[in-house]
Amino acid sequence: MSERQTIRRAIERAAMCGCLLGCALLCASSAAQVSAYGDKQMGENRGDELPKVLKGVQVAQHLNQQLPLDAQFVDETGKQVRLGDYFGQKPAVLTMVYYNCPMLCSEELDGLTSSLEMVHLSPGKDFSVVVISIDPTETPELAAKKKAFYLKRYGRPETAAGWHFLTGKQPAIDAVTDAVGFGYVRVPGPDGRLTQYAHASSIEVVTTGGKLAQYYLGVEYSPKDVLLGLIEASGNKIGSPVANILTYCYHYDPETNKHSLIVARVVQVGGMLTVACLGGFMFVMFRRDIKLGREHELTERRSEGWKP
């Protein structure tokens, strides 16, 4: 192989890599742009700032707070009940969701059910599970479907009497959420019609007397912690506050209709890193080709009797 052929080969490889680099730049540029949807723009939010709609979304831990036991609800069978009907003898696990939630609520109930599967106590016998919908438009029929689904997932149908899926009117819902410290915001869905709720994910352990004993935040709950919380709550003991790291159920900001700037910045940085890595690879391979070509040509000349 002559030196001219070596150089030509290196140039061809460089041209091919240049095409790849051009494609990468084009893809990175396209990916870094936020696709237009109506009047959507990049918002002013930063990584350490919440969208305006989430300002009222929180879980304030009201330990030792008495729940409103006189609050009226409807259970999954359509029967009128008082919240206090589930207290007096056993502690309870309480959670606030809405049954038509398209995102986080199902994960929260999945996490609760998975945790209870490994807790060596029985709903109905040792404690109660009380699930309350924050949506006053939801019905007992929908609550019954949710109960059937999670009872089947739990795998112990004999514990059905310990699971309670409630619906109610706004005053009763407000009384419970205020006592729990469960802040949420009603927002329109992406189509402008479907009602959604921005809220955080948590479960609460409640004493036999109906006082808040412990909070567990997120969508996954340690069976050991839940077991300990229920045992302490059965003796009316109040736990300690936990780290307030919230997981939000939230679709997008319908008030500003803007994407978060941080998302676009992450995409842009990713594109720049991709281009930099590809450029470095091209440079190394180009030098390697030239070096190998020269070494090959020198070897051929020496084999033909040429001496430097």
Average pLDDT, the chain: 77
272-292: pLDDT as tens digits: 778 777 777 777 777 777 777
**Residues 233-267 pLDDT 10s:** 999 888 776 655 544 444 433 344 333 444 444 45
In the predicted model, is pLDDT for residue 223 greater than 60? Answer: yes
In the chain, pLDDT over 70 holds for what percent of residues?
Answer: 65
Average pLDDT in the 206-210 region?
96
Provide the pLDDT for residue 50: 54
Task: Please write the tens of the pLDDT for every residue from 109-125.
Answer: 999 999 999 999 999 99
Q: Is the pLDDT of residue 207 over 60?
A: yes
SS (H, E, C) the chain: CCHHHHHHHHHHHHHHHHHHHHHHHHHHHHHHCCCCCCCCCECCCCCCCCCHHHCCCEECCCCCCECCCCCEEECCCCCEEEHHHHCCCCCEEEEEECCCCCCHHHHHHHHHHHHHHCCCCCECCCEEEEEEECCCCCCHHHHHHHHHHHHHHHCCHHHHHHEEEEECCHHHHHHHHHHHCEEEEEEECCCCCCEEEEEECEEEEECCCCEEEEEEECCCCCHHHHHHHHHHHHCCCCCCCCCCCCCEECCCCCCCCCECHHHHHHHHHHHHHHHHHHHHHHHHHHHHHHHHHHHHHHHHHHHCCCCC
50-104 residue pLDDT tens: 556 556 677 889 999 999 999 999 999 999 999 999 999 999 999 999 898 877 7
Position 252 scores a pLDDT of: 39
**Residue in this structure with the two tokens 């997120």, named with its chain if needed:** 218
pLDDT score recorded for residue 250:
47
Label residue 156 by pLDDT band (50, 70, 90). very high
pTM above 0.75, yes or no: no
User: Is 220 within 8 Å of 108 (Cβ atoms)?
Assistant: no
- Which amino acid, one-letter code, is at 233? A
